[in-house]
């Protein structure tokens, strides 16, 4: 089938490449000529494990272009996979989606199914259909469908090739017939519903996972007060099949491109209809507070960061991606710098993106060892394997003061007790095995 995909970010590009893997002829459209040039050379403009290899494998079925008119005019199916960032008030910015819809309306020359894969507020597909039909240049039939993505950054290729489910929201049978053909080689449960239900499935799924993360973080905070261990608590909870063990890792909150904006967008939409979602609002509030958990923990050792050498391990919001959106480092590092700290940071893939925000204020290091050298305190913000596998004895050997404040619970406390350091984590006891004197 001849498919075009609007947008080449995490949703659009991954969708296009995976559809090509399933033997569709795919044209990916982007307005950025530099990105298109990279992709034509088989280079992915985003860091996502396995994506570039899959691109190279399917280059004979992939085309990349900025010429949207040519890409859309005779496509059987057009997927919209552009971003829907949040506005200042928390609502979703749909300008990119509507912009693509207008381009499609002015370009298509045959009957076509338009598939909205971007995460959009409930009812948006109806508005897109009205917009496209009002601006059609040619006499063609247009069918608009919702087919939300359920990928996670770092595992996006696997999640798309082997999805937990495929959701199709349609108002006409023609659209469902075409999309069933598009997805026929995907081995996954297929749910066909109306468009508003499909849109809600996406928001409800993401917001439920955000609720789960915020819940376990609140329990972790209480565990610290009463002397319980959050990892034992989560283990005991996770064996209950009604709860499950995923998204029960306590830490410093969720980040990324989905959970923060989707919780705010659904909360905004509910408020717009005078129906506050109290649980979603609570999840948002808990998450914002949780991001500052490490700073608060550090205050028992330092009233001020002035003149301190601070080591930061991990810059991205989670491992497996170079994405910084809503990363806790974006909240914490400015506080350190404003307080007068000297910050050194390490991340295996996120440095270049972080440099765009802090080009000169931070010293960026190539190794964990260089980052820790002569540091007064170390903050762990991302649970990269390199951090989890790091030799704990090096902390006391390299740091001026071996104080490690871990926001991702990277280390087993039994190991920590043998390592000659002070270790703070989330929802667990503080370990002080340091035998020296803090300077």
**pLDDT of amino acid 157:** 96
Asked whether residue 279 carries a pLDDT value surpassing 90, the answer given is yes
Q: 350: domain CATH number?
A: 3.40.50.720
pLDDT band at residue 397 under the 50/70/90 scheme: very high
Whether residues 401 and 319 fall in one domain: yes
Asked whether residue 73 carries a pLDDT value surpassing 90, the answer given is yes
Distance CA 182, CA 77 (A): 9
Whether residues 145 and 12 fall in one domain: yes
Whether residues 100 and 177 fall in one domain: yes
**Among candidate residues 268, 290, 312, the one where a domain is terminated:** 290
Domain assignment present for residue 438? The answer is: no
Any catalytic annotation for residue 410? Answer: no
The percent of residues above 70 in pLDDT, for the chain, comes to: 100
In Å, how far are 37, 253, 401, 424 from 428, measured between CA atoms?
Answer: 49, 16, 21, 8
**Among candidate residues 258, 290, 322, the one where a domain is terminated:** 290
Whether residues 166 and 128 fall in one domain: yes
- CA-wise closest residue to 418 among 438, 391, 383: 391
Distance CA 375, CA 309 (A): 5
Whether residues 235 and 337 fall in one domain: no
Edge-to-edge strands, sheet with 112-116: 62-65, 25-29, 2-6, 77-80, 112-116, 142-146, 166-169, 190-193
| Active-site residue, from 18, 28, 223, 258 | 258
**Among candidate residues 193, 224, 242, the one where a domain is terminated:** 193
Whether residues 34 and 178 fall in one domain: yes
Show the domain range for 409: 293-432
Q: What is the pLDDT of residues 53-67, one digit of tens each?
A: 999 999 999 999 999
Domain assignment present for residue 232? The answer is: yes
Query: Which residues are registered as beta bridge partners of 4?
Result: 27, 78
Whether residues 261 and 347 fall in one domain: no
Whether residues 303 and 218 fall in one domain: no
Whether residues 280 and 297 fall in one domain: no
**pLDDT of amino acid 40:** 97
Domain assignment present for residue 60? The answer is: yes
Mean pLDDT (whole number) for 20-38: 97
Distance CA 246, CA 213 (A): 9
pLDDT band at residue 183 under the 50/70/90 scheme: very high
Provide the number of structural domains found in the chain: 3
Whether residues 65 and 181 fall in one domain: yes
pLDDT band at residue 176 under the 50/70/90 scheme: very high
Domain assignment present for residue 439? The answer is: no
Whether residues 66 and 184 fall in one domain: yes
Whether residues 300 and 254 fall in one domain: no
Domain assignment present for residue 245? The answer is: yes
pTM (whole model) above 0.85:
yes
The SS3 assignment for 167 reads: strand
Domain assignment present for residue 316? The answer is: yes
- The chain-wide mean pLDDT, for the chain, equals 96
**pLDDT of amino acid 367:** 98
Domain assignment present for residue 46? The answer is: yes
pLDDT band at residue 284 under the 50/70/90 scheme: very high
Mean pLDDT (whole number) for 139-160: 96
Q: 256: domain CATH number?
A: 1.10.1040.10
Domain assignment present for residue 437? The answer is: no
Asked whether residue 171 carries a pLDDT value surpassing 90, the answer given is yes
First to last CA, the chain: 67
The DSSP-derived string for 356-398 is HH-SSSSEE-SSHHHHHTT-SEEEE-S--HHHHTS-THHHHHH
Asked whether residue 41 carries a pLDDT value surpassing 90, the answer given is yes
């Amino acid at each position: 089938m001849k498919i075009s995909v609007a947008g080449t970010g995490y949703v659009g590009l991954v969708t296009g490449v995976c559809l090509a893997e399933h033997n569709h002829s795919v044209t990916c459209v982007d307005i950025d000529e530099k990105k298109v040039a990279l992709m034509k050379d088989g280079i992915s403009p985003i860091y996502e494990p396995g994506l570039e290899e899959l691109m190279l494998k399917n280059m004979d079925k992939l085309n990349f272009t900025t010429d949207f008119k040519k890409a859309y005019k005779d496509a059987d199916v057009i997927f919209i996979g552009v971003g829907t960032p949040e506005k200042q008030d928390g609502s979703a910015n749909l300008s990119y989606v509507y912009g693509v819809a207008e381009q499609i309306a002015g370009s298509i020359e045959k009957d076509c199914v338009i598939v909205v894969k971007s995460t959009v507020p409930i009812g948006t597909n109806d508005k897109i259909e009205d917009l496209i039909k009002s601006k059609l240049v040619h006499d063609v039939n247009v069918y608009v469908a919702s087919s939300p993505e359920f990928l996670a950054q770092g595992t996006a290729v696997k999640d798309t090739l082997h999805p937990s489910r495929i959701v199709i929201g349609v108002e006409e049978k023609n659209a469902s017939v075409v999309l069933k053909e598009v997805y026929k080689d995907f081995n996954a449960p297929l749910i066909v519903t109306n468009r508003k239900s499909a849109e809600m499935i996406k928001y409800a799924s993401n917001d439920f996972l955000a609720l789960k993360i915020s819940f376990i973080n609140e329990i972790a905070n209480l565990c610290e007060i009463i002397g319980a261990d959050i990892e034992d608590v989560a283990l005991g909870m996770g064996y209950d099949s009604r709860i499950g063990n995923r998204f029960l890792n306590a830490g410093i909150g969720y980040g990324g491109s989905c959970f923060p904006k989707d919780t705010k967008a659904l909360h905004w939409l509910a408020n717009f209809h005078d129906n506050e979602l109290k649980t979603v609002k609570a999840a948002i509030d808990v998450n914002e507070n949780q991001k500052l958990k490490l700073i608060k923990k550090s205050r028992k050792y330092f009233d001020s960061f002035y003149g301190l050498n601070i080591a930061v391990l991990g810059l991205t919001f989670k491992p497996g991606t170079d994405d910084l959106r809503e990363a806790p480092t974006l909240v914490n590092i400015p506080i350190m710098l404003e307080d007068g700290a000297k910050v050194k940071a390490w991340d295996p893939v996120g440095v270049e993106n972080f440099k765009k925000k802090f080009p000169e204020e931070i010293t960026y290091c190539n190794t964990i060892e260089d980052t820790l050298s002569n540091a007064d305190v170390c903050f762990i913000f991302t649970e990269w394997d390199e951090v989890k596998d790091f030799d704990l004895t090096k902390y006391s050997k390299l740091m001026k003061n071996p104080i490690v404040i871990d926001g991702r619970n990277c280390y087993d406390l039994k190991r920590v007790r043998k390592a000659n350091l002070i270790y703070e984590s989330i929802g667990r006891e503080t370990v002080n095995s340091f035998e020296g004197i803090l300077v």
